[in-house]
Amino acid sequence: MGRLPLEPHEIREKAAKALQRGCLPLPSHARRTDAERLIGLMEHARKWEVEEALLEKAEKMLEKWWDQIDRHEAIDKLQQAFYRMDRNADGFIDKEEWGRMMGRLEATGWTRSAMEDIFTRFDGDRDRRLGYEEIVSHLLTNDKEGHKLVKQVATTPPSEREGLLGLFGDDLLKGTAYREFPIATTDALGDADIIGVIFMTSSTIDKQLYPHTLLQWNRELLQRVASLYLDLRNPDVLNKPSQKFEVVLCSFDTQWECFTRTVGRPGPPAPWMVMPFDCPWERDYLWRCFNSKFETRTDPALVILTPKLEIISIDGFGDLDVSQSLRMKVFEEWCEEAESKGRWRLMFQA
């Protein structure tokens, strides 16, 4: 027997209860999804003529939420812009870093004189470098041009190019943090049939854990990657999967010491490519290209792309059913195994 339809007064009561729950104070600051959900509840409540006092309460809560949302989004934009400009992660933006930023924004309509004026206004102590607090204190004076510039920095891609160079920049590093091991992005990724991008935050550094090494991937995971994402009619796929699959590690450490522990020490380079430390604009842009697509975030996360940078999967580890313990390995284990086979000793002696 089917459920009887609700009477109008019952629907009204349910709408009122839903609206009452929907406009309760949140444990943390409101997000856009919270505000949009409340707007939907208010529209439903008006349709069923819920009492005006409850709607007024919801209106006041919505106004408060939008104020929180605008404030936190402005802070997020400022933090993002500061991270992009501070190439050496010393906590300051010097004239050289500001000059690099100007070069990137000229194509968007900003003039160098206007950006130099903003630097002068922000530089309160006249030491020719900007700290985060200096920028915040000046923006609080409602500097409209300053707000506009910060937003532009946070939303501008690192270059106008498309494809591999637009997403990863000109150069990657051969499995290490150090510039002594550069490789052109087109050389590193141009022949790959699929590309994996590992996103990794500093939260994993505390335990000195690292992504599951590609040395073992060559024996285990690459076979499974090949069976999932590549054409099995190609006999070379299963025989030489490592030649079909290239991986780039993108770490978001803001300290050089942590970055070197994450992506590779000066010893034998690890068998993946690395986004350089002094390219925070590129690293941030790469992350934000995929950030909104993550339903649940894992650390590290593996995104699988086609050579044309179309997304195959945003949950590469989940697709492979790789457990958290298997997903991360201590980097020294790889070094010990590689050194025991003498693979790298000859390279560095040469």
pLDDT for the residue 206 = 41
Residues 42-67 have a mean pLDDT of: 88
- Distances 242 to 191, 196, 224, 247, 331 between C-alpha atoms, Å: 12, 12, 11, 10, 19
d(CA 66, CA 74): 12
pLDDT for the residue 300 = 74
Residue 209 predicted with pLDDT over 50: no
Residues 138-146 have a mean pLDDT of: 79
The pLDDT-based confidence of 321 (bands split at 50, 70, 90) is: low
Higher pLDDT, 255 or 269: 255
- Distances 38 to 159, 203, 340 between C-alpha atoms, Å: 39, 33, 61
Lowest mean pLDDT among 25-29, 51-55, 137-141, 182-186: 25-29
Higher pLDDT, 158 or 339: 158
The pLDDT-based confidence of 341 (bands split at 50, 70, 90) is: very low
Residues 322-329 have a mean pLDDT of: 46
Sequence-distant (6+) residues with CB within 8 A of 35 are 62, 65, 66, 69
Pairing status of strand 210-211 against strand 273-274: unpaired
The pLDDT-based confidence of 185 (bands split at 50, 70, 90) is: very high
d(CA 96, CA 85): 10
SS3 182: strand
Reduced DSSP (H G I as helix, E B as strand, rest coil) percent helix, strand, coil of the chain, to 5: 55, 10, 35
Cα–Cα nearest to 327, from 203, 201, 211, 207: 211
Lowest mean pLDDT among 62-71, 73-82, 206-215, 253-262: 206-215
Return mean pLDDT, the chain.
76
Q: Is the dihedral of CA 306, 308, 313, 317 positive or negative?
A: positive
- Distances 281 to 10, 88, 154 between C-alpha atoms, Å: 54, 12, 9
What pTM, to 2 d.p., does this model score? 0.67
Count the neighbouring beta carbons within 10 Å of the beta carbon of residue 318.
14
Residue 235 predicted with pLDDT over 80: no
- In percent, how much of the chain has pLDDT > 70? 72
Pairing status of strand 328-329 against strand 210-211: antiparallel
pLDDT for the residue 211 = 43
| Nearest-5° Cα angle at 226, 221 to 231 | 175
pLDDT tens, 58-114?
Answer: 898 888 888 888 878 888 888 888 888 998 888 899 999 999 888 888 888 889 999
Residues 120-131 have a mean pLDDT of: 89
Lowest mean pLDDT among 27-31, 275-279, 302-306, 344-348: 344-348
d(CA 295, CA 6): 35
The DSSP element (H or E) to which 303 belongs, if any, is: strand 301-305
pLDDT for the residue 98 = 92
pLDDT for the residue 348 = 33
Measure CA of the first residue to CA of the last residue in the chain; give whole Å. 83
Residue 218 predicted with pLDDT over 50: no
The pLDDT-based confidence of 310 (bands split at 50, 70, 90) is: confident
d(CA 312, CA 347): 36
Residue 156 predicted with pLDDT over 70: yes
Residue 325 predicted with pLDDT over 80: no
Produce one character per residue of 251-265: b if its CB has 16 or more CB atoms within 10 Å, e if not.
Answer: bbbeeeebbbbbbbe
Query: What residues are paired with 301 via a beta bridge?
Result: 199
Higher pLDDT, 20 or 205: 20
Lowest mean pLDDT among 200-204, 263-267, 281-285, 346-350: 346-350
Residues 221-242 have a mean pLDDT of: 61
Residue 166 predicted with pLDDT over 60: yes
